[in-house]
Chain A
Amino acid sequence: MSEAVLILGATSAIARATAAAFAARGAALYLASRDLDELERISADLHLRHGVEVRYGLFDAEATETHEAFLQAVIKAMPDLSGVVVAFGYLGDQQAARDFKLGAKVIASNFTGAASILSYCANYFEPLKHGFIIGISSVAGDRGRQSNYVYGAAKGALSLYLQGLRNRLFASGVRVITVKPGFVDTAMTFGLPGLFLVASPQAIGERIARALDKSADVVYLPWFWRYIMLIIQHIPEPIFKRLKL
């Protein structure tokens, strides 16, 4: 069966690559974000390169009161919606930890907004007994570090939310996949010092789409981040708190 996929936060490099990977599989797409000009450009591009139908519409993760009507509009435009990718996110900067006004925005985007739209998506797919939800979280959510713990906390909360959702939707046959990318070569990371093993957005996007064909519930991308995070998670706290990470 051909897929019809909603990509939320579709203008980021990872989302664009994920959309391209789905389009290459022949999936129809609905792209959503706050930036209509970018959506128009990306939609035209994906349509020309892959020949699939691409729609787009305005979506603001932080405006949770609009989410219910938004999803209804998507379903109306694409009645055979088969899956959702939550790809939006906002890194903020170091100041987010000192200034809660900035931190609140990080939490509102990465967690509150995701939890809001996911609740409507879950309620839609649950009675249909099919569909998939892919949530792009982050390895930063696996352990709090002084360099980005507000972002990490929001992503960690998203990971937990997806875990619970997976548990709930298992009985209805709706797949919930948590994706945890490591360092990816995007605008979020460009020029940051101290990065290593940086993956291309294309490689990450292809593997996100391919995760549907496999059975894993939590996917680290690239795969070795599972082991890097395993080590990081198992450093005893008395030692970890002394590290400059």
Chain B
Amino acid sequence: MLVTPLSGWGRYPVQSCEVERPERYADLYSDAASVIARGQGRSYGDAALNENRRVLLTERVNRLLELDADNGVLRAEAGVTLAEILEVIAPHGWFLPVTPGTKFVSLGGCVAADVHGKNHHHDGSFGDHVAAIELILADGSRVACSPAENAELFRATLGGMGLTGIIGEVTLRLIPIASSHMMVRHHAAADLEQLFQHLQNPALDDRYTVAWIDSMAGGAQLGRGIAMCGHHAAKEELPVGLSLSSFNSEELAGGRSRKKHARAIPFDFPAWMMNPFSIGAFNAFYYRREGKRQQPFLTGYDSYFYPLDAIGQWNRMYGKRGFVQYQCVIPDATAFDGIKALLQELSGSHRPSFLAVLKRLGAQGRGLLSFPMAGYTLALDLPIRDDGLFALLDRLDETVLRHGGRVYLAKDARLSAESFRAMYPRYGEWLKIKNAVDPQNRFSSSLSRRLRIGEELS
């Protein structure tokens, strides 16, 4: 056991945890009074922290167990990363059904946070493609969960933030691809209204659709941005000479190729580097450059799905104090007003968000604590420079609640227990299942204590 300070990807908060790192599947268990599994530590806040209590690293229990290359079904241990999975499945013509914005996450983390991608409005969340899970319970027993078997526990585990047990194995249904290339189109929008129109327009929409927002633009330009729409390139879309069997995303002729992990941020940037001027200048440049790419172009899946993975340790850009990623969803009916109110609040706060991303989400899925619901989701990266940020975020919570939305727990580091309960109406249902499998609340984390999840247990 190792006692060491840990943090999530946002590097806030930093907490001392008792860390264990099993190497055998049979050792993927702890008899500690409080334990939480941690994969790659890519949740942003305190979901994979357990202050002064046990954290079980799953990174060494990461074996690929079975690939049905005819039907596209993969079974693997939960510690494996999406990057490792892609390396194996893409050459067979398969792809992840849903992928978050980084491939350096664990498979178990994707289930625990029931992550979504740019295709949620078409394909649902990660959990919609999980055929089965092997869950390790508080007494050490292993139980198979699927939509057919232990279905309630399955629903509580999708998006359950690791609080129902340790996710040991995952069976995932993959999607077929004809090549490793993406066909992408950009559509610039001068303001938020136009951006919403782009996202709603079936003529522009594609399997993967995401909008980048210039978070520094205010006034008449509030919410200006670029809708980026793409799909896995079909055979007939590939230029002659580009081998169909070329599944190496890095070798794309004509696209922006680069080496894996070509660069890493070597040290913490000083906090002042991310200021309204530098971010404003970058955004204006980005808007002009990327907004021009209205003709479809080919690019590798890495540069489309994982642009930030090319910069190792990019979280260091936000300085030593770290940052908070604030991601919320607002239901369709109130989405435009809600997102506009959030952007106005942000724009008036003079707190620059380097990253602002808007996406459509489809219907709510099976996971009882899952984040997605039909509507629009906004994600903001906000560096922590002073405690004033937290007051702003509390105001954003109020705006989100007023519009019937919710905040994403995988990104969260500061939501209140009351707001959580208001945002996640299926919590009561979840709690009954938790009570049945873990009445002593052994699976708990800094996040679960902060949100007082499980305190109602008998």
CA distance A37 to B60 in the complex (A): 15
Residues of chain B lying within 8 A (CB to CB) of residue A11? 23-24
Q: How many whole Å from A58's CB to the nearest CB in chain B?
A: 16
The A-contacting residues of B in range 261-279, CB under 8 angstroms, are: none
Whether B63 and A186, one on each chain, are in contact in the complex, defined by CB atoms closer than 8 angstroms, is: no
Residues of chain A lying within 8 A (CB to CB) of residue B60? 13, 187
Whether A187 and B63, one on each chain, are in contact in the complex, defined by CB atoms closer than 8 angstroms, is: no
Q: How many whole Å from A55's CB to the nearest CB in chain B?
A: 16
B26 at interface, CB cutoff 8 A: yes
Considering residues A38, A42, A48, A190, which has the most beta carbons from chain B within 10 angstroms of its beta carbon?
A48
Of B64-72, B348-356, B402-410, which stretch is located at the interface? B64-72
Q: Mark A8-44, 1 if CB is under 8 A from B, else 0.
A: 0001110000000000000000000001011001101
B77 at interface, CB cutoff 8 A: yes
Residues of chain B lying within 8 A (CB to CB) of residue A168? none
Which listed residue (A12, A35, A42, A190) contacts B63, Cβ 8 A?
A42
State the majority secondary structure of interface residues on B. mixed
The B-contacting residues of A in range 140-187, CB under 8 angstroms, are: 186-187
Given contacts A191-B2, A191-B19, contact A44 B26 (CB under 8 A): no
A45 at interface, CB cutoff 8 A: yes
Name which residue of chain A comes closest to B26, CB basis: A37
Whether B21 and A190, one on each chain, are in contact in the complex, defined by CB atoms closer than 8 angstroms, is: yes
B25 at interface, CB cutoff 8 A: yes
Which listed residue (B21, B22, B24, B63) contacts A44, Cβ 8 A?
B63
Whether B64 and A187, one on each chain, are in contact in the complex, defined by CB atoms closer than 8 angstroms, is: no
Name which residue of chain A comes closest to B169, CB basis: A41
A130 at interface, CB cutoff 8 A: no
Residues of chain B lying within 8 A (CB to CB) of residue A190? 2, 21
Q: How many whole Å from A18's CB to the nearest CB in chain B?
A: 14
Whether B23 and A13, one on each chain, are in contact in the complex, defined by CB atoms closer than 8 angstroms, is: yes
B422 at interface, CB cutoff 8 A: no
Whether B65 and A44, one on each chain, are in contact in the complex, defined by CB atoms closer than 8 angstroms, is: yes
Q: How many whole Å from B62's CB to the nearest CB in chain A?
A: 8
B88 at interface, CB cutoff 8 A: yes
Given contacts A49-B88, A190-B2, A191-B1, contact A44 B64 (CB under 8 A): yes
Which listed residue (B1, B2, B64, B87) contacts A45, Cβ 8 A?
B64
Q: How many whole Å from A15's CB to the nearest CB in chain B?
A: 11
Given contacts A13-B60, A41-B63, A45-B65, contact A35 B88 (CB under 8 A): no
CA distance A190 to B26 in the complex (A): 18
Residues of chain B lying within 8 A (CB to CB) of residue A13? 23, 60
Q: How many whole Å from B63's CB to the nearest CB in chain A?
A: 4
CA distance A11 to B23 in the complex (A): 9
Q: Mark A42-70, 1 if CB is under 8 A from B, else 0.
A: 10110011000000000000000000000
Q: Mark B378-417, 1 if CB is under 8 A from A, else 0.
A: 0000000000000000000000000000000000000000
On chain B, which size bracket covers the interface?
Answer: 10 to 19
Given contacts A41-B63, A190-B2, contact A48 B26 (CB under 8 A): no
Q: How many whole Å from A142's CB to the nearest CB in chain B?
A: 26
Name which residue of chain B comes closest to A11, CB basis: B24
Residues of chain A lying within 8 A (CB to CB) of residue B64? 44-45, 48-49
Considering residues A11, A13, A38, A190, which has the most beta carbons from chain B within 10 angstroms of its beta carbon?
A190
Residues of chain B lying within 8 A (CB to CB) of residue A45? 63-65
Whether A35 and B23, one on each chain, are in contact in the complex, defined by CB atoms closer than 8 angstroms, is: no
Which listed residue (A35, A42, A187) contacts B21, Cβ 8 A?
A187
CA distance A48 to B90 in the complex (A): 12
CA distance A147 to B168 in the complex (A): 36
Which listed residue (A37, A42, A44) contacts B66, Cβ 8 A?
A44
The B-contacting residues of A in range 44-98, CB under 8 angstroms, are: 44-45, 48-49
CA distance A45 to B77 in the complex (A): 10
Which listed residue (A37, A48, A49, A186) contacts B23, Cβ 8 A?
A186
Whether A38 and B67, one on each chain, are in contact in the complex, defined by CB atoms closer than 8 angstroms, is: no
Residues of chain A lying within 8 A (CB to CB) of residue B21? 187, 190
Name which residue of chain B comes closest to A43, CB basis: B63
Whether A187 and B2, one on each chain, are in contact in the complex, defined by CB atoms closer than 8 angstroms, is: no
CA distance A41 to B67 in the complex (A): 13
Name which residue of chain B comes closest to A12, CB basis: B23
CA distance A37 to B25 in the complex (A): 8
Residues of chain A lying within 8 A (CB to CB) of residue B87? 49
Name which residue of chain A comes closest to B18, CB basis: A191
Residues of chain B lying within 8 A (CB to CB) of residue A41? 25, 63, 65, 77
Residues of chain B lying within 8 A (CB to CB) of residue A48? 64-67, 88
The A-contacting residues of B in range 21-48, CB under 8 angstroms, are: 21-26
Which listed residue (B24, B65, B66, B84) contacts A35, Cβ 8 A?
B24
Q: How many whole Å from A152's CB to the nearest CB in chain B?
A: 23
Name which residue of chain A comes closest to B25, CB basis: A41
Q: How many whole Å from A225's CB to the nearest CB in chain B?
A: 23
Residues of chain B lying within 8 A (CB to CB) of residue A186? 23
CA distance A49 to B89 in the complex (A): 9
CA distance A201 to B2 in the complex (A): 18
Residues of chain B lying within 8 A (CB to CB) of residue A12? 23
CA distance A13 to B60 in the complex (A): 8
Name which residue of chain B comes closest to A42, CB basis: B63
Residues of chain A lying within 8 A (CB to CB) of residue B67? 48
Q: How many whole Å from A76's CB to the nearest CB in chain B?
A: 27
Residues of chain A lying within 8 A (CB to CB) of residue B23? 11-13, 186-187
Q: Mark B9-21, 1 if CB is under 8 A from A, else 0.
A: 0000000000101
CA distance A12 to B26 in the complex (A): 14
Per CB-CB distance, the 9 closest pairs between chain A and chain B, nearest first, are A191-B2, A45-B63, A48-B64, A41-B63, A187-B23, A44-B65, A45-B64, A191-B1, A38-B24
Taking beta carbons and an 8 Å cutoff, which residues of B are in contact with A? 1-2, 19, 21-26, 60, 63-67, 77, 84, 87-88
Can you name 14 A-B pairs with beta carbons within 8 Å? A11-B23, A11-B24, A35-B26, A37-B24, A38-B25, A41-B25, A41-B63, A42-B63, A44-B66, A48-B64, A48-B66, A49-B84, A49-B87, A187-B22
